Structure 1
Amino acid sequence: MIDSVPAPRGGAGGPRGGGGVVGRESIRLTGSVLRVGLTGGIGSGKSAVAIRLAGRGAIIVDSDRIAREVVAPGSAGLAEIVAAFSDRVLTADGALDRAALGAVVFADEAARRRLEQITHPRVRARSAELSAAAPADAVVVNDVPLLVEVGLAPSYHLVVVVQTAVATRLARLARDRGMTRAEAERRIAAQADDARRRAAADVILDNDGGLDELHAAVDALWRDRLLPYERNVREHRAVRDGWVVSTEPDPTWPQQYARLAARIRHALVPADLRIDHVGSTAVPGLAGRDVIDVQVTVPSLAEADGALAQRLADAGFPRVPEVRWDRPGPAGGDGGEKRLHGGADPGRPVRVHLRVAGSPGWRHALLMRDHLRADPDQRAAYLLVKRELAASAPLEGPGHATADDPWFAEERLRAEAWAAQTGWCP
C-alpha cells in the first residue's frame, strides 16, 4: 500500500543534480540483504532522507557519488567521455567540468543517451560491489536520481519516492545551486514526472512540510517497515494476513499489483512465466480484504519447489507451507494443490499462488475473476455475501473460507455457464 507522509521544505540538503545513475540492467534480488531504492526529482530533498536513514543505520549506496568516482581524473570513464564530447567538457586542470557537460547533454537527447552508455555500466558495477559487501542483516538504500527513468524499480524490495512541489524545487535549485529558472526547468523536464514516480512508489514522502516532519516520517518508516521487512526477508518469513479486515474498493489495487508483478517477474528471470492478478482486489469495484492475490503459472509443482521458491523468497515472497494446499485434493475436488508464498513486507499483505497451468484451481481463479468483472449483478451479490460472512465469522477459520458457502457453489455453476456461453478460455 502507498504510504503518504509529510517531509521538509527549504534547505534540508537537496539532492545533487541528476549526474550518473545505475543503468537499465539491474541486479537480481539475492541473499538476505534488504535493498531499498530511494529516488526523487532534482531539488526534491531526497538527500535529506538518505542522510536520516544513514543516521538510523542504513547503508547508503549513492549513485551520484559513484558517478563522480567512475569519471575521476585518470579514469577510463573520463577518457571515454572526452573521446565522445571533446576536451571542452574538461576544466583547466583536467577534471570533468560537470556544468559544461550538463549544458551539452541536457539540451541534446542523443548526447544524454551517449553519456548514459558510458556511465551506467560503471556505476552499476560499483553499486553491485558495495551492496555485496554489506552485512547479512543490512538495509541497503540505493540513492538513485533516475531510478524510475531507467526502469530499476522491480529490482528493489521497496521503492521510496520523495515528492515535492515543482515550485519549491525550482526555488531550491536557484538558491542552492545557482541555476537559472530555464536551466532548472530543463533539468526537471529531463526526468520522470510525478505521476510516473508515484506509479513506481511503494512509499511516498511528500516533501512539503518541515524538517522535523521529515525526520519523524523517516524514523517511522525505518522502525515500522524497513527493520521488520529486513528481518522477514533474512529469515524467509511471511507476514500473516489474518489481521487484514475487509475494506471498500481501493482504486490503487491494480497499480499495487503491477508493482508486485514486476518485482516477481524480475526475481524469476530467466523463467518467463504467466502472472495474473486474481482474487477480490482484481475485480474493479469489489470490496474485500486488503490483500493482493497474485497467481504465477508454473509448468509443475516440482519446478515451483526448486529454484523458483528460492528466488521468490530472496525477493521478499517466502514460502508458506500448509498441508491443505501442499497435498493433492480428493478425486473430483477443485484441484486446489498449489504452492503458496506470502509477503515479507509488513506494509503490503500479499499472497502468491503458484499453480500448474491448466489445473482446476488455476482455471477457477481466472474464471471467477473474469466472470465477476463481466457481470455487475453477480459482483453485487458476491459483495453482499462476503460482507454477511465477514460480519458473522472471524477473519481466520472455517467461517472465512467463503468457498464453502452454498452461494459460492451456485456461483461456480453460473460462471461455468457464462464461460460456455461466451467461449471464455483462460
Structure 2
Amino acid sequence: SDTLDVVIRVGLTGGIGAGKSTVAKTFIERGAYHVDADKIAREVVEPGTPGLAQLVEAFGPEILDEAGALDRPSLAARAFADDDSRKLLNSITHPLIGARTQELTDAAPTGSIILHDVPLLVEGHMAPFYHLVAVVHTDADVRLDRLVNLRGMDVDDARSRIAAQATDEQRRAVADLWLENSGAPEALAAQAVAAWDERLIPFRDNVASGTAAPMPTDVVSYDPEWAALGQRVVNRIWALVGGNASAVVHEGPTSVVGQAAAPVVDIAVTVSDFSVADSLAEALAKGGFPLVSSTHDERLHASADPGRHVRVHVRA
C-alpha cells in the first residue's frame, strides 16, 4: 500500500578478494542505491572531521601524515596493539559510521533497493537487519591467489587477512543469496543480474504492494538447510518485533529433523495480546512479511521474498 514507505535493504558481503565489487557494480548499474561501508569508514575520519580529532586525542598526533591526514598503517600499529586499543578505536569509529550509514539510508528514495556493501557484515552480527543478505563466495586459495597476483599483496599479509575474517560456514549460515565466483567475472555478473531480475525486483514490488510470494505446496524430502533457514528467519523476526514478543520459534513440518515437508518455514511469534500483534503488522510488512489473514487465534504474515518461503504465525 502507498502508506508503507518502502525500501528493501540488501546486505552484500564476502571474504576479501571474493569479488563483491563485481556484484555491487552489476546491482548499481540496475539502479541499486549504494551505501558503501568502506567509503563511509574513510569519510568519517577525513581531515577536519570530529572523527579524526577524536582519534588524534586517543592515539596521539603520530597517527597523522605530513599533510595532516590519517596515516592508516601508523594508526593500525597503535590501535591493533592490544584488545583495549582496538576497543577504543571501535568506540570512536563505529558510532560515526553507524550515524552516517543511517543518514544515507534515510535519504534513499521510496522504492529503492538499498545495497549496503559491508565487508564485516557477518563478523558484526548485522545479518538480521537486512531484508536479504547476499554473499559472494570464492574458495580461500583462489582469493589468496587474486590478492597476491592481482592486487600485489604480500602473501603472509593476505593469508592473515583471510584468516581474520568469518569462515565460509559462518557466511553460509546468514546467506539468503549465495553467489558462486569460481569462474570468470562475467559468470558472476550473470548470476547477479538473474538475482536482481528474478528475486530483488519482485521482492521489492511485493513489499510495496503488501503481497506475499506464492508458497510451494508439494512435499519434498527433508533438507538439512531448513534448520539454518529457520534460525535465520527467527533472527530476522526478532530484529523486526524487538521486545514486543516473548518467543519466536521455528515450528511446523520443516522444523522436524528428517521429515519430508512442503519447503515452507513456519515461525511462531508469541505476544501478550492481539493489540500487540496488530501493532506489529506494519513493522513486519515493511520488513518483508505482509499480513495475509486475521483470525480469532492468530495473525498470519507471509514472506514477500520469492526465494524464501516463510509463514509467520503471531499468536497471543
Residue in structure 1 matched with residue 111 of structure 2 by the alignment: 137
Which amino acid is 2:129 matched to?
A: S
SS of 1:64's equivalent in the other structure is helix
CA contact (8 A) 1:317 1:343 kept: yes
Structure 2 CA distance for aligned equivalents of residues 193 and 37 of structure 1: 17
Q: CA deviation at 1:188?
A: 1.9
Residue in structure 2 matched with residue 54 of structure 1 by the alignment: 28
TM-score (norm 2): 0.94
What is the correspondence of 1:232-311 to structure 2 with a 5 Å cutoff?
A: 232-241=206-215, 243-305=216-278, 307-311=279-283
Residue in structure 2 matched with residue 340 of structure 1 by the alignment: 300
**CA offset digits 1:380-403 (Å, max 9, x no partner):** xxxxxxxxxxxxxxxxxxxxxxxx
Q: CA deviation at 1:186?
A: 2.1
Q: CA deviation at 1:88?
A: 2.8
Residue in structure 1 matched with residue 69 of structure 2 by the alignment: 95
Is 1:127–2:87 an aligned residue pair? no
Q: CA deviation at 1:100?
A: 2.9
Q: CA deviation at 1:107?
A: 5.6
Q: CA deviation at 1:103?
A: 4.2
SS of 1:197's equivalent in the other structure is helix
SS of 1:192's equivalent in the other structure is coil
What is the correspondence of 1:357-376 to structure 2 with a 5 Å cutoff?
A: none
Is 1:86–2:60 an aligned residue pair? yes
Structure 1 CA distance for aligned equivalents of residues 136 and 284 of structure 2: 28
SS of 1:248's equivalent in the other structure is coil
Residue in structure 2 matched with residue 189 of structure 1 by the alignment: 163
Residue in structure 1 matched with residue 18 of structure 2 by the alignment: 44
CA contact (8 A) 2:244 2:271 kept: no
Residue in structure 1 matched with residue 89 of structure 2 by the alignment: 115
Q: Percent identity?
A: 47
Which amino acid is 2:309 matched to?
A: P
Taking only aligned residues, the RMSD between alpha carbons, in angstroms, comes to: 1.6
Q: CA deviation at 1:159?
A: 0.4
Residue in structure 2 matched with residue 312 of structure 1 by the alignment: 284
Q: CA deviation at 1:150?
A: 1.0
SS of 1:47's equivalent in the other structure is helix
Residue in structure 2 matched with residue 9 of structure 1 by the alignment: none
The change in CA–CA distance for 1:97 and 1:69 in structure 2 (over 3 A counts) is same
Moved more, 59-68 or 43-52: 43-52
SS of 2:66's equivalent in the other structure is coil
What is the correspondence of 1:316-327 to structure 2 with a 5 Å cutoff?
A: 316-321=288-293, 326-327=295-296
SS of 1:277's equivalent in the other structure is strand
Residue in structure 1 matched with residue 51 of structure 2 by the alignment: 77
SS of 2:244's equivalent in the other structure is coil
TM-score (norm 1): 0.71
Equivalent residue in structure 2 for 1:217, among 179, 191, 198: 191
Q: CA deviation at 1:176?
A: 4.2
**CA offset digits 1:303-329 (Å, max 9, x no partner):** 212x2111111111110026xxx14xx
Moved more, 178-187 or 191-200: 178-187
SS of 1:254's equivalent in the other structure is helix
Equivalent residue in structure 2 for 1:352, among 301, 312, 316: 312
CA contact (8 A) 1:106 1:190 kept: no
Structure 1 CA distance for aligned equivalents of residues 80 and 244 of structure 2: 38
Which amino acid is 1:124 matched to?
A: G
Moved more, 79-88 or 262-271: 79-88
**CA offset digits 1:230-288 (Å, max 9, x no partner):** 111122211121x4421100001111011101110010113242012111101000000
Structure 2 gap segments, 5+ residues each: none
Structure 1 CA distance for aligned equivalents of residues 156 and 84 of structure 2: 20
Which amino acid is 2:283 matched to?
A: R
User: How many residues of Structure 1 are paired with residues of Structure 2 in the alignment?
Assistant: 313
Q: CA deviation at 1:110?
A: 3.5
SS of 2:224's equivalent in the other structure is coil
The change in CA–CA distance for 1:102 and 1:168 in structure 2 (over 3 A counts) is farther
Structure 2 CA distance for aligned equivalents of residues 175 and 89 of structure 1: 30
